[in-house]
Amino acid sequence: MKSLNRGWMIPAGLLVLFWGVWGAFSSKPTDLYGYPEEMVYIIWSLTMILPAAAALRRERFDRRPVAALYGLLAGLTGAGGQLVLFQALSDGPAYLIFPVVSLSPVITVLMAVALLRERINRLAVVGVVAALVAILLLSIPGGGGGGHSSGPWMVLAAVVCVAWGAQAFFMRKAAVVGVNDATTFGWMTISGLLLIPVAYLMMGSFPSGAPWQAPALTAGTQVLNAVGALFLVMALSRGKAAVVAPLTNALAPVLTIVLSLIVYQTLPTIWAAIGIVLALAGSTLMVYSDEKRGEDAAEPELAAKVPS
């Protein structure tokens, strides 16, 4: 069987670039101009319309109730996580927040074990253990270096981790029942827009007196986030998930960490550095084992459908 199609490499590379830069600079509108993180969320949700429209030009929108159910569950957990993430980035450093967020596959794996009675393989167990050790190391007070210690941002990052882990679980459930990626992405966009009133109520009123650079910088960074999500859909549709998912899951946070360390002009302590490495390694192992198991399970099905 020939599966050396390299068409996934360009969108995967662009995904790493877009998400890596977005993660490092997402908090800049708040840091530089005091722009409310709720307003950052509102602009992000609007930028999702562009990649959603592009995705739905390629695939038909699935109107089944089951597609709406899993699409909304995936969308609301994902958008809710985004809303909390922007708050976390306004309080803490991206180079510590994103390693914690990258541990979301732990939640996905645990949900699959608890709700679907799936068995966890040895590689995933190693990933879970590495993730737990990483959380402990990243939680050491003052472990971030540069005066950053564990605080509200750590709790918020953990909430995002849980939300995005649940989102991945619901996205997988959607795929299992035959919902195409564009439909799920469309519901994710709708969910993001549905939470705009929540963000507005949290904010109280639209910011007045903010310089034009604030919304412009916000739109620029959040377009990177939204279009990066579309690149992920494109990469997964062109390449093996067992290769694409772990690669992008590891490299995008690495780029964020490197860029944000340069921006903050600081270095983490040795414990935080080890925690960052363990978080990325554990997350990558879990994503790889999960996607590889899914592809291995699908191959006999595919072979059975091919006439001999």
Nearest alpha-carbon partner for 138 in 124, 123, 158: 158
For the whole model, what pTM was predicted? 0.83
Mean pLDDT of 110-118: 80
| Cα 6 versus chain centre, distance | 23
φ and ψ at 148, to 5 degrees?
-85, 130
Rounded Cα distance, 83 and 81, in Å:
5
Whether pLDDT at 137 is above 70: yes
The tokens for 144 are 């971030």
Predicted confidence (pLDDT) per residue in 37-55, tens digit: 999 999 999 999 989 998 8
Q: Burial code of 245-278, b = ≥16 C-beta within 10 A, e = fewer?
A: bbbbbbbbbbbbbebbbebbeeebbebbbbbbbb
Predicted confidence (pLDDT) per residue in 220-264, tens digit: 999 999 888 888 877 876 777 667 777 777 788 889 989 988 887
Whether pLDDT at 64 is above 60: yes
DSSP category for residue 134: H
Rounded Cα distance, 184 and 234, in Å:
13
134 — pLDDT class (breaks 50, 70, 90) = confident
Question: Residue 280 contacts by C-beta under 8 Å, 6 or more apart in sequence?
Answer: 99, 102, 250, 253, 254
Tell me the DSSP string of 13-24: HHHHHHHHHHHH
Rounded Cα distance, 90 and 139, in Å:
18
Rounded Cα distance, 12 and 4, in Å:
15
| Cα 242 versus chain centre, distance | 17
**Lowest mean pLDDT segment, chosen from 39-53, 118-132, 196-210:** 118-132
Predicted confidence (pLDDT) per residue in 11-39, tens digit: 889 999 999 999 999 989 998 999 999 99
Mean pLDDT of 207-218: 91
Select, from the ranges 110-119, 195-204, 251-260, the one with the highest average predicted confidence (pLDDT): 195-204
Mean pLDDT of 203-217: 91
Confirm if 89 and 256 have CB atoms less than 8 A apart.
Answer: no
Token pair 């993180």 is at which residue? 37
DSSP category for residue 142: T
